[in-house]
Amino acid sequence: MRHAIRTAVLLVLVPVAAACSAPPPVGHSARVPAASPGGQASGAQAPGGQAPGDQASGGQASGGAAPGGAAPTLRGALTTPTDIDLEWRSGRSGAAGHVLEFATEAAGPYTVLRYLPPSTTTYHHPDLIPRTTFHYRLRAFHGPASTPVEVSLPAGELTPEDQEAGHAWLPPRRAPGRAAAGRSVRDASPAAAPSGLRAEVKHANGILFTWTDRASDESGFLLEARTAGASAYEPLVVLEPDTVSTGLITLPTEKRASYRIRAFTYGARSNAVRLTTGESTGRRAPDEGSERAN
């Protein structure tokens, strides 16, 4: 149920596992933002990062920055014949985060690997298809976030009554029309931030979020969460422009958390990094059989 709910609200979601990695085990589901099986991200520096333009380990990089400020710098290297480590430096201070994409053809189409918080500077992409060229690029996103709301869900899981009840509140809903002109997200104005964010507890694992869209040119919205004990917010769900409500089925760690909505737009795109995998090592992915890929 969770997989179907989360994939329904993506701006761009192609099953990453099928496109880039060995087939995932039955029951394995990717989470929004899309992440391939075993994909790991952190704020630590990746070892042996390959600078753009270097050709060690079969990697190459090319330019491709778009307008909108200094572009991030992306580096990558093969750490095993079928594992790739990526690291980057943000090209502009104040970015709300980055979106990492990949393709198996230089011209695309590109698929989102993950939306990442600004503190994250590395990504580990494991167990890829052997003898295949992968292209990576990174893009910053910017935009103001709403005032957060604190949510504490009841203990336990869904009751039979919860499971049988209607869940019409789950799909994202877009505003039929804007009553007043919105503010530009590109101006970095707090006036463009979503306002009036409310969280309505539906059951032990369900929350309905509603808000007012005050932006005029957003690329979309991000539902972000800071779970108990965490120091920063992380993106959970990507939503289309003009969205004003969405439901969420939580994971156990999200039952007590602070949530907020961000109106965002994309900034400059990084250089593209190209790496070609070698022969398969024949080993199993560390997280095979698990439900999550974080």
* Mean model confidence pLDDT for the chain: 77
pLDDT band at 180 (very low <50, low <70, confident <90, very high): low
Sequence-distant (6+) residues with CB within 8 A of 158 are 203, 204, 205, 206
Task: State residue 69's pLDDT score.
Answer: 64
Task: State residue 284's pLDDT score.
Answer: 52
More confident residue, 26 or 38: 38
Rounded CA separation 113/125 (Å)? 9
Task: State residue 68's pLDDT score.
Answer: 54
Predicted confidence (pLDDT) at residue 178 exceeds the cutoff of 70: no
More confident residue, 11 or 205: 205
Task: State residue 30's pLDDT score.
Answer: 30
Residue 229 structure tokens = 């004990």
Asked if 61 and 272 touch (Cβ cutoff 8 Å), the reply is: yes
Q: What is the mean pLDDT of residues 109-115?
A: 95
Predicted confidence (pLDDT) at residue 43 exceeds the cutoff of 60: no
Predicted confidence (pLDDT) at residue 236 exceeds the cutoff of 90: yes
Q: Which residues pair with 203 in a beta bridge?
A: 206
Most confident of 44-48, 161-165, 202-206, 280-284: 202-206
Predicted confidence (pLDDT) at residue 287 exceeds the cutoff of 90: no
Asked if 172 and 244 touch (Cβ cutoff 8 Å), the reply is: no
Domains of the chain: 2-143+268-276 (2.60.40.10), 149-265 (2.60.40.10)
Burial level of 21, CB count in 10 A (0-12/13-18/19+)?
buried
Predicted confidence (pLDDT) at residue 60 exceeds the cutoff of 60: no
Closest CA to 281 of 80, 133, 85, 131: 80
Q: Residue 78: what residue type? A: L
Task: State residue 33's pLDDT score.
Answer: 46
Task: State residue 282's pLDDT score.
Answer: 65
Cβ neighbour number for residue 252 with a 10 Å cutoff: 10
How many Cα atoms are found within 13 Å in the side-chain-facing hemisphere of 72?
31
Q: Write a three-state SS string for the chain.
A: CHHHHHHHCCCCCCCHHHHHECCCCCCCCCCCCCCCCCCEEECCCCCCCCCCCCCHHHCEEECCCCCCCCCCEEEEEEEECCEEEEEEECCCCCCCEEEEEEECCCCCCCEEEEEECCCCCEEEECCECCCCEEEEEEEEEECCECCCEEEECCCCCCCHHHHHCCCCCCCCEECCCCCCCCECHHHCCHHHCCEEEEEEEEECCEEEEEEECCECCCCEEEEEEEECCCCCCEEEEEECCCEEEEEEECCHHHCEEEEEEEEEEEEEECCEEEEECCCCCCCCCCCCCCCCCC
pLDDT band at 293 (very low <50, low <70, confident <90, very high): very low
More confident residue, 52 or 214: 214
Burial level of 94, CB count in 10 A (0-12/13-18/19+)?
exposed
The reply to whether the predicted model has a pTM over 0.85 is no
pLDDT band at 59 (very low <50, low <70, confident <90, very high): very low
Rounded CA separation 286/28 (Å)? 13
Task: State residue 90's pLDDT score.
Answer: 82
Which of 63-72, 188-197, 234-243, 257-266 is predicted least confidently?
63-72
Q: What is the mean pLDDT of residues 63-70?
A: 44
